[in-house]
C-alpha cells in the first residue's frame, strides 16, 4: 500500500496526505480526519527507512537499559518505549552501549536514551553529533542531560526512620555493593546507610555487609542460641535487614523463618523496587512510570533545542504495603491494559 493510494481514497493530493499523516498543523481538521480514516481502512503504514532517507534520519530513539531481565529494568524499558512513542519517536531497544552506537550511526539517530552503567568514553562517543539523555550516569563535563536517581537521600531517610523507631541493630545484605567495592565502581544505596549509622556510633549488624541471604542466615544461627523446644532465637542480634532488592528480601524472610523469626516483629526486612513485597516487609519504592516520563521528557526537550538541557533528579520514596504493581497497572491507558 502506497501514500498515493491513501491520498486517492481520501480525495486529497499526496502532499496533503503526507502532511496529514505527519500531523502538520497546516492541514485542516476535516481533511486530516479523512486521510487518517483512509490510512486505517487501507492498513497503510509508512516506510520508516524511506522516510528516514528523505529526512536524513529515521526518527529512531535507541535506548539501552541495564539488567532488562529483572522486573524493575524490564518494566522501565517498556515504560520508556511507551513514553518515547508518545513523543513521536520510534523506540529501538539495544543490548548495550556499543550496539546503541552502531544503531545511531547506521540510522542517523538524532537522540538516544541510556539507562545503563557505562564508561565515560562511551557516553562521550554517543553524545557526539546527537542528543543523549542518561539515567543514573552523571557526566557534567560532557553536557549530557541526566536523570539522577537519588538513592543516597532515599536510604539516608530510611535509615534515619529506622533509628527513630528504635531499630539500631541494622544488617545489610547486598552482593552488588560488595562487587562494586571489589571492582572499584561507584556504589549506591548502602554507603548512605553506613554513613548514617556511623554518625550515631553504630556499625552494621555483623560488622560488615552480607553477600547473600544464606550468609546472613548462617550468621543469625551462629549469633543466637535456639531456645530449647521452641525453635526461636533466645537472643536477637538484629532488628532490621536492608536488602539489595525485593527478591533478596524474600530470601532473607525465609532464612529468618527457619529460625522462628518474623518480620516486622522480630526484625523488619526492607527490599528495593517494591515489586515483590511479602507481607510485613517494606521496600524502597522506584516508580518506573515516573522515571520513564521524566527521562523521555528530557530527551524531547534536548531534541527541541540546540542548547543545554537542565538535568533532573528523582528521589525514591518508601513503600510500607505491597501495592506498587497494582498502582502502576491502574495508570496504564485502556489499550495497554488489554495487551497485558
9-53: pLDDT as tens digits: 889 898 888 788 766 778 888 888 888 888 888 787 665 555 554
Per-residue pLDDT, 109: 86
Percentage with pLDDT > 90 across the chain: 47
Residue 228 has pLDDT above 90, yes or no: no
Top-confidence residue, 328 or 194:
194
pLDDT at 319 over 90: yes
Domains for the chain: give ranges and CATH numbers. Answer: 3-46 (no CATH), 56-149+288-316+323-339 (3.40.50.2300), 151-285 (3.40.50.2300)
13-52 core/surface letters (b: 16 or more CB in 10 A; e: else): eeebbbbbbeeeeebeeebbebbbebbeeeebeeeeeebb
Q: Which pairs count as long-range contacts for 88-93, CB under 8 Å and 24+ apart, including other chains?
A: 88/23, 88/59, 89/59, 89/60, 89/61, 89/299, 90/48, 90/58, 90/59, 90/60, 90/61, 91/60, 91/61, 91/62, 91/63, 92/60, 92/61, 92/62, 92/63, 93/62, 93/63, 93/64, 93/65, 93/68
- 3-class secondary structure, 311: coil
Q: Give the global pTM.
A: 0.77
pLDDT at 308: 85
pLDDT of residue 298: 93
Would you say residue 56 has pLDDT above 90?
A: no
Report the chain's mean pLDDT, rounded to a whole number.
84
Check residue 336 and give its pLDDT: 40
Residue 321's pLDDT band, with cuts at 50, 70 and 90, is confident
Non-local CB neighbours of 67 within 8 Å, separated by 6+ positions:
73
Cell of 281: 516487609
Buried/exposed 214-227: b ≥16 CB within 10 Å, e otherwise: eebbebbeeebeee
Query: What local confidence, expressed as pLDDT, does residue 230 receive?
Result: 46
Amino acid at each position: 500500500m502506497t501514500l498515493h493510494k491513501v491520498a486517492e481514497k481520501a480525495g486529497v493530493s499526496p502532499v496533503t496526505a503526507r502532511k496529514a499523516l505527519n500531523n502538520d498543523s497546516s492541514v485542516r481538521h476535516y481533511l486530516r480526519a479523512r486521510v487518517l480514516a483512509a490510512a486505517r481502512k487501507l492498513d497503510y503504514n509508512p516506510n520508516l527507512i524511506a522516510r528516514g532517507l528523505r529526512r536524513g534520519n529515521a526518527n529512531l530513539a535507541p535506548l539501552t537499559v541495564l539488567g532488562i531481565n529483572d522486573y524493575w529494568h524490564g518494566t522501565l524499558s517498556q515504560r520508556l518505549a511507551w513514553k518515547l512513542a508518545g513523543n513521536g519517536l520510534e523506540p529501538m531497544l539495544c543490548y548495550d552501549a556499543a550496539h546503541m552506537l552502531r544503531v545511531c550511526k547506521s540510522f542517523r539517530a538524532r537522540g538516544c536514551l541510556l539507562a545503563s552503567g557505562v564508561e565515560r568514553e562511551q557516553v562521550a562517543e554517543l553524545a557526539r553529533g546527537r542528543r543523549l539523555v542518561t539515567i543514573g550516569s552523571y557526566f557534567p563535563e560532557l553536557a549530557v542531560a541526566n536523570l539522577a536517581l537519588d538513592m543516597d537521600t532515599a536510604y539516608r531517610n530510611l535509615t534515619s526512620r529506622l533509628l527513630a523507631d528504635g531499630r539500631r541493630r541494622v544488617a545489610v545484605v547486598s552482593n552488588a555493593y560488595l562487587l562494586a567495592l571489589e571492582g572499584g565502581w561507584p556504589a549506591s544505596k548502602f554507603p548512605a546507610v553506613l554513613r548514617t549509622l556511623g554518625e550515631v556510633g553504630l556499625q552494621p549488624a555483623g560488622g560488615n555487609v552480607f553477600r547473600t541471604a544464606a550468609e546472613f542466615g548462617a550468621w543469625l544461627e551462629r549469633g543466637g542460641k535456639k531456645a530449647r523446644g521452641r525453635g526461636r532465637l533466645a537472643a536477637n542480634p538484629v532488628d532490621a535487614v536492608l536488602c539489595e532488592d525485593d527478591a533478596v528480601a524474600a530470601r532473607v524472610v525465609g532464612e529468618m523463618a527457619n529460625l522462628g523469626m518474623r518480620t516486622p516483629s522480630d526484625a523488619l526486612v526492607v527490599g528495593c523496587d517494591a515489586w515483590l513485597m511479602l507481607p510485613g516487609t517494606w521496600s524502597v519504592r522506584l516508580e518506573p512510570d515516573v522515571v520513564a516520563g521524566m527521562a523521555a521528557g528530557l530527551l524531547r526537550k534536548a531534541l527541541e533545542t540546540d542548547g543545554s538541557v537542565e538535568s533532573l533528579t528523582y528521589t525514591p520514596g518508601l513503600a510500607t504495603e505491597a501495592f506498587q504493581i497494582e498502582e502502576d497497572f491502574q495508570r496504564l491507558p485502556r489499550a495497554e491494559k488489554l495487551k497485558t
